[in-house]
Structure 1
């Protein structure tokens, strides 16, 4: 396989101080072709047009010291070799037009010569595989000596070949992997989550958070963790020194009308009744940092218009002022509403949504992440210990029972992680001797089910059954039969006799029988669940 070197003519390094000293001076483009263990079959030399004379000399010298090397000059036009956009475009065009043949040739990109801008561009093009090559870095000899006898005995220096495939560098790959794991651990609060979809989501959020200052929109149900994740993103960017200012957060549902304008954008003294002093506002307070606007869909249209200007122009008008205030912040917006539907109904500005929706992530509910409930139990217990100073554990039997309830598809977790936090906190607070027992779990399950029941004139079916059968028996009955049995129990309690209850329950079917025995029919139905009329009275 032939070896092909691609490099820029070094206007400074390939130019000897004096013509007669050129063989006693280290010149990278020439020296790379003098290496005993590196045979260069072809040298693709990129030359700015104005340095054609120097290029001709270097080509001649390479052919002198390495007759087996064919040198091909490529003329490039650069008005400003320090203009990144111009240099990158020129080198990128070369990479598109060059007839690479990687099956028969191996390519080395020489990054020693050229301006720092050119070296960076060559690195990027090699990393992106526009140049299917490895990097070639040459260095001058440690001690420079002048040739005495031979005009062709040059100072060749040394070289190093760098492959940008980091998988070949175990130590570097491990380091990058550790940094990635540390970043995702920050975003997940150190919880070893098991849900694959959620872990993929966190990986994407980590990558976006570290790569951009653009707004980020987080959607999902209340209690899914939007506020906590916003705080973790801030901590991550702060740890990488990408942000220095504060994290400012506000729930937009708590501010309305003129108060919203003043809270967000500030006001001047006397701007309205009660404005006895000027106020900076939250957007100004977030200057240089991050602004988290939770429930952004609750903002009025006027506030939305002001916010859009602040995002796009980094300035806004405080209430009562005709002079704009500057503030440069990164916005993270949260919403549990369907903002697209709000746009259609005229409740949310489409231009603002387009601006904040560049990076949009939907956080799943706890019911969608049931496999992560187990590690979150440990996390909530640790949080309880940090807050109270009391260490609380949960015995295995109690843990298994709570998990069986928690991962059951019938368990709604309407409040998401807030419900889980509250449940663990309550059980930990009531745990005698710092140990959560099965009895505490049973009590908490009943409480959660009662909290989640829909508003109704009738008592929750599961609560009714639990009062008579116990939680284990209720869990063994299908939801269909639980609903039916709960209604039967309510009718029995509302009637004085078994026969009266039977007549009410079997009102339609009893008309088709000559001798209906409603009491016996009801007695047998109750017996299926281990209940008697006396139990219900």
Structure 2
């Protein structure tokens, strides 16, 4: 079905003003002329004007109805006190774009930039370039000299692509928009960990510029599911996806249920398949599919998923008819994927395909400087959900953060565990105050769950106090990590950034060997 053509533009108070006499219909006026283009019929015109130009706008609408009866015109009165003020014009147009109900599946959009001040034209371009407007730019002009009389009022029009380098003085505006996108991905939390902030900066650029698969790795509770949703919402806000977010934890899928859940099935495909099922891949068509814990997926499902990613087609379970689905894939896992591939548990070709953009999310213990702002975020979220104001007493807050940021706090469940910890204290708070007694109880509960004891590892060889303290820290990180690579990434978080091909696992293995230790021994507590 052919899409409806919709043009968005502003009333030209100079070029569109041609008096009230009938000879105005023989003169070129950009807004009227764009609705008369024989090769580019306009189904709907969204016409923005100043409130004091309502009379002129109405006259223009009447002329369009007369000359182009197939065009529907909707007027929008927007007050702009200074049309030469970049901030005011940009804010007004951004507000219009944000609240406009775009229907990209059924309509195509063009932004008319011929009318209005140069400031208005630049702002239209910036909003279109940033994808706040899912549109192309349209420019109109008078007919060429010597053109036939009937073509004079129609003029000419063309879809154009402006060069952003002309407007380098406004790059700060883009920087602010980029910072807002980064803040959105972090849910507004003022994170302080340099490695994490650099990671989110890169994710923001990829999310807005690429539709290739994204792989999020990291320990359970590090925020992979949360970040996947924020990536989707960011892309959706820029009109880069029209469909919905479909998410599933692959660890819950087994056997026929895995095939059916992901790819759908036909009636009678297996025992109990009494009705057909569309499957999650088809539900994600036009949107984003998030497969959490993808490493737990069976090899058969992995093969079908690879075909679906590369060819955008697949066979529902029990069917001999292919179906189509075009989606962006985001996957998450806490496994060491290279090791999983080496052991034959994950297809190498699928790993190569989903590893286009790979981001390793650090656990909470690797971001201790971010614990304080995350505590405030979780407390505010709890307060909002319960419609109550909950606060720490000053000494209670200091005591909790001192423990939470110390090496005693293992945070094996990462941010999920921190959220539960804050929620427990907030729930038990009397008169909305979290006291030192509540904090002491919570710390004792956390220590018990982690089985924290004052005992230190016994080393068979005599070493300097400096080396002993360093080794104790290394052993602590190893015991709470799920893999050698994960432990290495935490221990060498700074120095690894300077290496082109960091091999954290090999580096850590060699360090342990200096003291007669091994990864296996650290996990056994020896």
Q: Give the TM-score normalised by the residue count of structure 1.
A: 0.54
In structure 1, the gaps of 5 or more residues are 1-138, 146-160, 454-459, 464-478, 481-537
Aligned pairs for 1:421-500 (under 5 A) are: 421-453=419-451, 461=453
* In structure 1, distance between residues paired with 2:437 and 2:292: 38
1:254 alignment counterpart: 252
Q: Deviations over 1:307-358 (max 9, x none)?
A: 0000000011001100011000000000000111111111000000000001
Answering whether residue 285 of structure 2 is matched by residue 284 of structure 1, we say no
Instruction: Mark the CA change 1:278 to 1:396 in structure 2 (over 3 Å): closer, same or farther.
Output: same
Q: Deviations over 1:279-322 (max 9, x none)?
A: 00000100000000000000000000000000000011001100
* In structure 2, distance between residues paired with 1:411 and 1:247: 35
In structure 2, the gaps of 5 or more residues are 1-139, 147-161, 456-470, 473-526
Aligned pairs for 1:185-224 (under 5 A) are: 185-224=183-222
* Aligned with 1:412 (options 410, 427, 431): 410
Match of 1:164, SS state, is helix
Q: Across the two proteins, how many residue pairs are aligned to each other?
A: 307
Instruction: Mark the CA change 1:270 to 1:369 in structure 2 (over 3 Å): closer, same or farther.
Output: same
Instruction: Mark the CA change 1:399 to 1:273 in structure 2 (over 3 Å): closer, same or farther.
Output: same
2:370 alignment counterpart: 372
1:164 alignment counterpart: 165
Match of 1:272, SS state, is coil
Match of 1:277, SS state, is coil
2:296 alignment counterpart: 298
* In structure 1, distance between residues paired with 2:400 and 2:224: 25
Instruction: Mark the CA change 1:140 to 1:314 in structure 2 (over 3 Å): closer, same or farther.
Output: closer
1:61 alignment counterpart: none
Q: Deviations over 1:214-258 (max 9, x none)?
A: 000000000000000000000000000000101000000011111
Instruction: Give, in angstroms, the shift of residue 140 of structure 1.
Output: 10
Match of 2:358, SS state, is strand
Contact kept in structure 2, 1:247 and 1:289, CA below 8 Å: yes
Match of 1:432, SS state, is coil
Q: Deviations over 1:166-187 (max 9, x none)?
A: 6x51xx2232122111111110
Instruction: Give, in angstroms, the shift of residue 409 of structure 1.
Output: 2.1
Match of 1:293, SS state, is strand
Instruction: Give, in angstroms, the shift of residue 165 of structure 1.
Output: 7.5
Answering whether residue 226 of structure 2 is matched by residue 228 of structure 1, we say yes
* Aligned with 1:275 (options 267, 273, 276): 273
Runs of 4+ in 1 over 3 A off after TM superposition: 460-463
Aligned pairs for 1:14-163 (under 5 A) are: none
2:240 alignment counterpart: 242
Instruction: Mark the CA change 1:252 to 1:163 in structure 2 (over 3 Å): closer, same or farther.
Output: closer
1:351 alignment counterpart: 349
Instruction: Mark the CA change 1:310 to 1:163 in structure 2 (over 3 Å): closer, same or farther.
Output: closer
Instruction: Give, in angstroms, the shift of residue 394 of structure 1.
Output: 0.9
* In structure 2, distance between residues paired with 1:340 and 1:436: 45
Highest CA radius of gyration, 1 or 2? 1
Match of 2:188, SS state, is coil
1:181 alignment counterpart: 179
Match of 2:212, SS state, is coil
Instruction: Give, in angstroms, the shift of residue 398 of structure 1.
Output: 1.0
Q: Which has the higher contact order (CA 8 A, sep 6+)?
A: 2
Instruction: Mark the CA change 1:182 to 1:162 in structure 2 (over 3 Å): closer, same or farther.
Output: closer
Instruction: Give, in angstroms, the shift of residue 144 of structure 1.
Output: 9.2
Contact kept in structure 2, 1:218 and 1:226, CA below 8 Å: yes
2:379 alignment counterpart: 381
Instruction: Mark the CA change 1:394 to 1:317 in structure 2 (over 3 Å): closer, same or farther.
Output: same
Match of 2:165, SS state, is coil
Contact kept in structure 2, 1:287 and 1:329, CA below 8 Å: yes
Answering whether residue 328 of structure 2 is matched by residue 330 of structure 1, we say yes
Match of 2:316, SS state, is coil
Aligned pairs for 1:516-535 (under 5 A) are: none
* In structure 1, distance between residues paired with 2:164 and 2:226: 40
Q: Deviations over 1:132-169 (max 9, x none)?
A: xxxxxxx999x999xxxxxxxxxxxxxxx999286x51
* In structure 1, distance between residues paired with 2:323 and 2:306: 14
Contact kept in structure 2, 1:449 and 1:462, CA below 8 Å: no
Instruction: Give, in angstroms, the shift of residue 461 of structure 1.
Output: 3.2
Match of 2:431, SS state, is helix
